[in-house]
Structure 1
Amino acid sequence: MPLLAGLHRYPVKSMYRQSPSEAAVEPWGLAGDRRWMLAGPNGQAVTQRELPAMGQYRAELAEDGSLLVTSPDGDPLRVPVPSPATGAPRVVGDVFGSRFAASETEEKVRLWFAERLGEVRLLHLDDPLARPVAAAFGAPGDTVSMADGFPLLATTTASLAALNSWMAEEGYPALPMERFRPNLVIEGTEPWEEDGWRRLLVGELEFRAVKLCGRCVITTTDQETGLRQGPQPLRALAARHRFDRKAAFGVNLIPVRPGGVTGDRLGTVRLGDRVTVLARGERLPAA
């Protein structure tokens, strides 16, 4: 029986994960997931693709939505939520060409990051309705946080085991699931069966599976050290699980609003929740 075996959120895009035992689900993703991101001067997202060391910064969310960021050296930074009502600058954020309005944090935050990571600034997505999911994959009204493109990413332990077996054939060590930065980790499936999922139930909540996740260089970065580790897993995926010119691993999900539920909170997912595949189809696109 498939079960939810892992649950992760990333308060600041590309920073270190949090792994709670349960999480509220909102239409645009897990509550608190990727509502903040670092951006360059032009508003474009800065991630581990450019700065692998970003993964060593840890961000904790307070109840009021503010952050406590801790550097790899242990230096703390408290970041209040920037508010347009109190004069926070409104800027344009950009995640791979998807542009949206965001609020910039105060100058002392920019200076703190500039000393450590260069000329970046920290943005907050105060309006989660500001960024629609790509029309080719989402329905009207679907929105996403500052994640790459979709509200949630699910992976399966069976597919990771298959991938690790391919790498072992070439003499490479096994990789942990954290390399893929998922939100939901599901155990008890067949390898790669998620490629054909269409709808699934995780505990009390339904999700639409809309696209396979094309992987990037971040998967070659050790999430515990921030160091690049060579060609894997991209080499194995490109050779044996490549679709639409993408090395694919994991499936992107969009939450379905339950009947009668209003407001931002759709429900809660918990470790150990049963996972039921409600509909399957042909392999999903990867691009």
Structure 2
Amino acid sequence: MTVVALYRYPVKSMLGESLTRATVTGRGLLGDRAYAVLDTETGSIASAKVPRRWLGLLGFAARFVAEPVPGEPLPPVEITFPDGSVLRSDDEGLDTALSDALGRDVSLVSVPPEGSHFEELWPDIEGLTPQQLAPRALIEATTTRHEDSGEAISRFDISAFGAPGTFFDLSSLHVLTESTLDRLRELAPEATFDPLRYRPNIVLRADSSPDGHGFVENDWPGSTSTIGEEVRVSFSFATMRCVMTTLPQGDLPDDPDTLRTIAKHNRIEIPQIGGVWACAGVYAEVAAGGEIAVGDPHTAPAPA
């Protein structure tokens, strides 16, 4: 396999930046999810996983003004607003401008405040919400409110499963293969299966062997592999997909079929959480950091 794309998202739930080379640390790609938008009224870390409140975040794009350097403070982030205006993370009027644009009192933060959380909508898509007892119990236990549609919204502590003090929901690294996207396109040719919908950090192209077709990441949890010459990752569990994959973002339209197809054709058991979930891609933790670049080889995963 080969690395064909690298993506970093400097601000959680905003559009990110495409890279040709990146530094990988124990907390994922250097600078990934370095910032987030905090709802100062509720203490919630803003996430487009609740579209009615935070869909507007996907109209913003964020990029670093200079490439981050390991061991040094991160450079400022440049944020492009939906109207085309641009402000930086070190601009005095940024929080006011974000609040005006999003219609809520918010601030840009680089460290999760104590007790902060994020919310996630469970959209009414057949096969998405697990019916098994354990997952249903998890959803019911975390549900704090409902949309007018009756769809449940769960609340989770920020970084409950990720590195402490970060804005990751579940894991510090997300890997996706083109073979998975190609299989989804075969199953639903009219849908728009663009990798940007799934917000991966690393996109891999499989070879032409039979093992390189279909949902190949399904078999990777519990294994390790090397990317490039230095980076070694341990695959943890399949990536559960959420409503964000369906939302309009950049040039991509609203498209529920991008999630409906996954829920119908690729439901995977996740022992760490319990139950069977609609999945595409795989989460990983960093066993050894270093530099990676587009074009680097990816070794076949091996048992850990």
Q: TM-score range by the shorter chain?
A: 0.7 to 0.9
User: Is the 8 Å Cα contact of residues 27 and 143 (structure 1) preserved in structure 2?
Assistant: no
Decide whether aligned partners of structure 1 residues 144 and 248 sit closer, same or farther in structure 2, where only a CA change above 3 A counts: farther
Aligned counterpart for 1:247 among listed residues 278, 284, 294 = 278
Residue 162 of structure 1 aligns with which residue?
Answer: 183
Residue 262 of structure 1 aligns with which residue?
Answer: none
Q: Distance in 2 between matches of 1:6 and 1:133?
A: 28
Residue 249 of structure 1: how far off its partner (Å): 0.6
Residue 86 of structure 1 aligns with which residue?
Answer: none
Percent of paired sites with the same residue: 27
CA shift digits 1:137-184 (9 cap, x unpaired): x8xxx557312211110000001111111113xxx2342111111000
Q: Distance in 1 between matches of 2:216 and 2:86?
A: 42
CA shift digits 1:48-84 (9 cap, x unpaired): 223223122121213452122111211111222xxxx
Residue 260 of structure 2 aligns with which residue?
Answer: 235
Residue 26 of structure 1 aligns with which residue?
Answer: 25
CA shift digits 1:223-256 (9 cap, x unpaired): 2147533x21221111111133421011001111
User: Is the 8 Å Cα contact of residues 144 and 151 (structure 1) preserved in structure 2?
Assistant: no
Residue 110 of structure 2 aligns with which residue?
Answer: 124
Between the two proteins, the alignment pairs up a number of residues equal to: 234
Decide whether aligned partners of structure 1 residues 213 and 278 sit closer, same or farther in structure 2, where only a CA change above 3 A counts: closer
Residue 173 of structure 1 aligns with which residue?
Answer: 191
Gaps of 5+ in 2: 67-73, 114-157, 207-211, 269-274
Q: Could you say what the CA RMSD is over the residues aligned between the two structures, in angstroms?
A: 2.3
CA shift digits 1:200-236 (9 cap, x unpaired): 111121100001111111100232147533x212211
Residue 302 of structure 2 aligns with which residue?
Answer: 279
Q: Distance in 2 between matches of 1:4 and 1:26?
A: 17
Q: Distance in 1 between matches of 2:246 and 2:265?
A: 17
TM-score, with length taken from structure 2: 0.71
Residue 114 of structure 1 aligns with which residue?
Answer: 99
Relative to structure 2, which stretch is displaced further, 115-124 or 211-220? 115-124
Residue 110 of structure 1: how far off its partner (Å): 2.0
Q: Distance in 2 between matches of 1:110 and 1:144?
A: 21
Gaps of 5+ in 1: 81-104, 258-265, 282-287
Indicate whether 1:48 and 2:48 are aligned.
yes
What is the 5 A alignment of 1:1-287?
2-41=1-40, 42-49=42-49, 50=51, 51-63=54-66, 64-80=74-90, 108-119=93-104, 120-125=106-111, 134=161, 143=164, 145-168=166-189, 172-188=190-206, 189-197=212-220, 198-203=223-228, 204-225=230-251, 227-229=253-255, 231-243=256-268, 244-257=275-288, 266-280=289-303
User: Is the 8 Å Cα contact of residues 5 and 18 (structure 2) preserved in structure 1?
Assistant: yes
What is the identity, as a one-letter code, of the residue corresponding to 1:164? R
What is the identity, as a one-letter code, of the residue corresponding to 2:262? L
SS of residue in 1 equivalent to 2:188: helix
What is the identity, as a one-letter code, of the residue corresponding to 1:223? Q
Residue 133 of structure 1: how far off its partner (Å): 6.4
CA shift digits 1:88-120 (9 cap, x unpaired): xxxxxxxxxxxxxxxxx96x3221111100222
User: Is the 8 Å Cα contact of residues 156 and 250 (structure 1) preserved in structure 2?
Assistant: yes
